[in-house]
Structure 1
Amino acid sequence: MFPDYNRWSLPLLILVLQGLVFIVLLFLRYFKRRNISDIFLALILLLTCYSQTCYTVGFMSWYDTFRATKINYFLINVGIALAPLIYLYVKSITTSNFKFKRVYWWHFALAITFVVYRLSIYTYDALQPGFSKVQNGVLKLKVDEGYVLEVMGYIQTPFMLLYLAFTFQLFYNYRRKIIQYFSNTYKLELNWILTFLILFSALFVYGTIQDLIGSKYINLGYQERWWLNLSTAIVTLFVGIKGYFTDTTKLNKLDFKFSPKTIGISESSNSVEEKSISDNDIIIIKHLMEKKKAYLNPELNLSDFAKLANMTRGQLSETINSGFNRNFNDFVNGYRVEAFKTMLKENKQQQLSLLGIAQDCGFNSKATFNRVFKKLTNYSPTEYLKTKLN
């Protein structure tokens, strides 16, 4: 009898209900702040929770108790809508001043077409005599299960793979861009987004292998498929928590559309004209770093430095890349590392911790400092202190 709370249904029910809480919170926050990434994440959670709810009520004996339930008309592989949503979610976070364009609706053409198709066959079958007494009508059995589901099985896997590949590419392109614009990137690296992508990719691989085994080798029932549903529910809850409590709006007010050397962004009308790299530009930059110690500003970015140097951002980026043979991040942090070394030679470590010295040199996080120092010196800060100064 429904509801049957058991070891299969109860964990899924608890996780799904918690996921629904974060869906509501994200929608509420969207209406308050109008941050479109909240909508994308809420829809991602909604689709996964919808899929899990269908399985949860199944484990609670709904379909055994109400055998004429028409659930099969509304059980679709959510991946055809989930994959574009994941792509647009990452795009909305990693693109400054992101706006949803009408052309983006084409990402959902396959999902919309499939939903319309399912509603059409449901409407037709519902008009046939005796439909209320059966679970599946004539078109569902003959057309959908006879042909369409098999065709969709061939479409869904490459569709998901394509979108996941595009999304990973989008994310890593973003990672490459921020080192051209920011001197401290730790808070902007969005490491949890990478975790998010890896988790959904793992679920996709798990589901694909399970479907392959179920269609080619062994008939997998509800209980055999339970582990995938449990894993999906756990990932859904994790994504809801991290997505809600992580600030993903850092780039909303910035404009840093650029290639590694030339930054293709519009400048204000009173900006100086773009010009080729010159010795004078290099002298100005060196003066700002060595005499004015601009690197001591932990929030220093390309835009701020360009204003100090009275250059455009494109001009400054080109000068640093070509004149110093470094990206902006390595260029600024190189000065910070040298300042750190100088303070160690002055025995500042007797008065301050290594992190305290690093912060005085312009670093704003321990993680960034340790990673940058290791990259530029091949030593950790502690190893450097013991090896070079003792």
Structure 2
Amino acid sequence: MITSNSILFTIICVFAIQAIVLSILILKKQPRVLANKFLAMLIIFYAIMAVNIVLVNVLKDIGKLHIFRYIQLELLYGMGPALYFYTISITKPNFKFSNKDFIHFIPLLLEFIFYRTSFYRDGANGLYIDPMSNITYVYLTQQWIGVLSNLIYSIISLRILYKHQHQLKQFYSKLENRSYNWLKIPILIFAIYPIFWNILTEIDRFAFDRNLREYYFLPNFVLLAIACTWISFKGYLTTNTSDLLSIENSNSSPKEITFELDKNFIEKLERLMQNEKPYLNPDLNLSKLSELLEMKPKQVSMKINQNFEKNFYDLVNSFRVKEFQERVKATDLQKISLLGLAYDCGFNSKSTFNSAFKKETQQTPSQLIKRLKNKYE
């Protein structure tokens, strides 16, 4: 056990309870979508883990520690499945949770039952006894299996996100507020946290005889509670399925097949880009471009990939980069605003502009300006 710290206990409870309240708001948020349910579930699992540590120490202080073994709140085996199904739900809004999907939560049910048995109570109590009993090693094994389960689910969730990011580039030239890149941070937190925590406690137990617990134990849960609150706020503000539905209904990225260059399509597209410059619209998407070309979106996407060896996102940004280069040459270099000019060319963010420019020209915008200035001096 550790020495109680009322200040840190209060901080943990404030942030954890705030996260739980936000999870309830997420559940009530309109429209009520499946993704919100899994996000709320995920937040609650991690928030009660933080509250759990406060509860056990408060009960210890009042001499009621034996009660805690009956009301253990930690639910390690629910975190991975909740994260996995949340990731699927936001990337595939047409996803339906079926009866067969409940199999992912069977370990959670078994864990809940296990925590109400004397087998668990004896195993957990044995953590503070040397040498540890076989029952305690069984308890620790159960904990590590839960950690590995979370890691596997997190890796799968990351793969789903990266695949979704690739699909977005087939349909949109503006990825801000659509890609759910922010979710990569909590996925990494959820994947790394249990591993880091268990490794840290094991190192402390074997190398330092648990003498370091006072330095890392409560601060660690303070960080967890704060992270839960941040994820709650971010999830509440950004959960949106309106854009993703169009992707679901537009089929996935085209398959690679053997083909010959379609010169008519290339000329038609380049003529449209040169004359009407639709890429100047930062919200240009595949549907809008297809309307201008008088073709079906799926057909346009396939032909772009085949004839330009680029996805829609990269192709549109390449035209924006060319437009930027042309405007730079016709602009007073002493009065130029790189970001302002980039926005005029259809870009919507500085990071996207810099990334697209370097990918297309193998140099940064600043390097181009410097080269042009040296040329004219």
State the TM-score, normalizing by the size of structure 2: 0.82
1:251 alignment partner, SS class: helix
Q: Which residue of 2 aligns with 1:212?
A: 202
Residues 196-217 of structure 1: CA distance to partner in whole angstroms, max 9, x if unpaired?
2222233123113034336655
Please tell me whether the aligned partners of residues 304 and 311 of structure 2 are also in contact (alpha carbons under 8 angstroms). Answer: yes
Q: Which residue of 1 aligns with 2:27?
A: 30
Relative to 1, partners in 2 of residues 1:89 and 1:162: Cα closer, same or farther, differing over 3 Å?
Answer: same
Q: Using the aligned pairs only, state the percent identity.
A: 27
Give the CA deviation at 1:340. 0.8
Residues 34-55 of structure 1: CA distance to partner in whole angstroms, max 9, x if unpaired?
1333322222221122121121
Relative to 1, partners in 2 of residues 1:99 and 1:17: Cα closer, same or farther, differing over 3 Å?
Answer: farther
Please tell me whether the aligned partners of residues 96 and 254 of structure 1 are also in contact (alpha carbons under 8 angstroms). Answer: no
1:147-158 paired onto structure 2 within 5 Å: 148-158=138-148
**Partners of 2:270 and 2:283 in 1: CA distance:** 19
Residues 124-163 of structure 1: CA distance to partner in whole angstroms, max 9, x if unpaired?
x9xxxxxxxxx9589x99x994675244135223312211
Q: Identify the range of structure 1 (334-343 vs 309-318) with the bigger mean alpha-carbon deviation.
A: 309-318
1:1-390 paired onto structure 2 within 5 Å: 8-33=5-30, 34-59=32-57, 61-67=58-64, 69-75=66-72, 77-119=74-116, 121=117, 145=135, 148-213=138-203, 216=206, 219-220=209-210, 223=214, 225-249=217-241, 251-256=243-248, 258-262=251-255, 278-347=262-331, 353-389=337-373, 390=375
AA aligned to 2:234 is: K
Give the CA deviation at 1:382. 2.1
Q: Identify the range of structure 1 (145-154 vs 294-303) with the bigger mean alpha-carbon deviation.
A: 145-154
2:160 alignment partner, SS class: helix
AA aligned to 2:160 is: L
Aligned length, in residue pairs? 360
AA aligned to 1:231 is: L
**Partners of 1:217 and 1:344 in 2: CA distance:** 62
**Partners of 2:100 and 2:289 in 1: CA distance:** 36
Give the CA deviation at 1:117. 4.3
AA aligned to 1:187 is: N
**Partners of 2:252 and 2:54 in 1: CA distance:** 48
Residues 306-353 of structure 1: CA distance to partner in whole angstroms, max 9, x if unpaired?
222222222111211111121211111111111111111111656662
Residues 271-312 of structure 1: CA distance to partner in whole angstroms, max 9, x if unpaired?
xxxx99733322322222122212112111122212222222
Q: Which residue of 1 aligns with 2:130?
A: none
Relative to 1, partners in 2 of residues 1:147 and 1:195: Cα closer, same or farther, differing over 3 Å?
Answer: closer
Q: Identify the range of structure 1 (280-289 vs 217-226) with the bigger mean alpha-carbon deviation.
A: 217-226
Give the CA deviation at 1:69. 4.0
**Partners of 2:28 and 2:261 in 1: CA distance:** 47
2:300 alignment partner, SS class: helix
1:363 alignment partner, SS class: coil
Give the CA deviation at 1:251. 3.3
Q: Which residue of 2 aligns with 1:266?
A: none
**Partners of 2:366 and 2:159 in 1: CA distance:** 35
Q: CA RMSD in A?
A: 3.3
AA aligned to 2:168 is: I
Give the CA deviation at 1:96. 3.9
Structure 2 alignment gaps of length 5 or more: 127-132
**Partners of 1:341 and 1:68 in 2: CA distance:** 70
2:282 alignment partner, SS class: coil
